[in-house]
């Protein structure tokens, strides 16, 4: 677990000097691993996933591999971005910062109907039945691996997701707004 307010940058030079690709893993530790905060995190992650790909990969052409994700860890919730790029790793890291700052304005300006549709899309994903035993074991295995053993977390997020508002997920430097908000950040730059 990172100290609250921490901002860490890890640089690693690749062994192969002929390698032209760089990689960035940008991780925001959002706060303590609570069901309430997790519900807000997965909604924020759902909202930002497509715009992150569209802006960072398509518009800014930062790299071929661009992904965003969120997860629980033993004592914290995290959201992250991974980008493989030929552009300098520090530049890519800064562009993720800019994207998150710009997305704050997008979220504030989002029409309530658009937000409701996005929220309903997430609720629909949470309600999906599992297709096979592999999916079921993965879902339960994740709750064991993250140390929470909270097998009802998905159902909580489903029921809580029905009444979340943009006020509950306003981004503040990549995190989520609220009294339980304690953000730290680290980036791993491979170049």
**Total tally of structural domains belonging to the chain:** 1
Please say if the pLDDT value at position 162 is more than 80.
no
39 vs 62, higher pLDDT: 62
Res 161: pLDDT: 61
Please give the residue range of the domain that contains residue 15: 7-190
**Which residues are CB-contacts of 170 (< 8 A; sequence separation ≥ 6)?**
104, 107, 108, 176, 177
Task: Give φ, ψ of 30 to 5 degrees.
Answer: -80, -45
The predicted-structure confidence for 46-97, as pLDDT tens digits, reads as follows 999 999 999 999 999 998 899 999 888 777 888 999 999 999 999 999 999 9
Average pLDDT, the chain: 83
Asked, for residue 2, whether it belongs to a domain, the answer is no
Judged by DSSP in three states, 117 sits in: helix
Identify the helix (H) or strand (E) that includes residue 1: none
Residue 169 pLDDT class (50, 70, 90 cuts): low
The predicted-structure confidence for 109-156, as pLDDT tens digits, reads as follows 888 899 889 888 888 888 888 888 888 888 788 778 877 777 777 777
Cβ atoms of 174 and 183 within 8 Å: the answer is: yes
Q: What is the dihedral of CA 180, 172, 52, 63, to 10 degrees?
A: -110
CATH of the domain at 32: 3.30.830.10
pTM: 0.83
Asked, for residue 1, whether it belongs to a domain, the answer is no
Asked, for residue 61, whether it belongs to a domain, the answer is yes
Asked, for residue 149, whether it belongs to a domain, the answer is yes
Which structure tokens are listed for 11? 């640089």
Asked, for residue 44, whether it belongs to a domain, the answer is yes
């Amino acid at each position: 677990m990172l100290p609250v307010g921490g901002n860490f940058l890890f640089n690693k030079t690749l062994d192969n000097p002929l390698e032209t690709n760089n990689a960035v893993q940008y991780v925001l530790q959002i706060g303590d691993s609570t069901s309430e905060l997790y519900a807000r995190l997965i909604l924020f992650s759902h909202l930002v996933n497509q715009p992150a790909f569209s802006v960072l990969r398509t518009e800014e052409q930062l790299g071929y591999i661009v992904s965003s994700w969120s997860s629980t860890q033993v004592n914290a919730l995290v959201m992250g971005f991974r980008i493989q790029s030929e552009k300098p790793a520090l530049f890519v890291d800064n562009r993720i910062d800019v994207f998150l700052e710009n997305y704050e304005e997008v979220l504030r300006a989002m029409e309530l109907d658009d937000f409701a549709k996005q929220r309903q899309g997430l609720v629909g994903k949470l309600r999906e039945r599992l297709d096979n035993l592999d999916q079921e074991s993965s879902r339960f295995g994740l709750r064991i691996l993250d140390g929470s053993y909270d097998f009802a977390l998905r159902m909580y997020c489903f029921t809580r997701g029905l009444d979340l508002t943009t006020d509950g997920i306003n981004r503040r430097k990549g995190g989520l707004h609220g009294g339980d908000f304690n953000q730290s950040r680290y980036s791993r730059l491979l170049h």
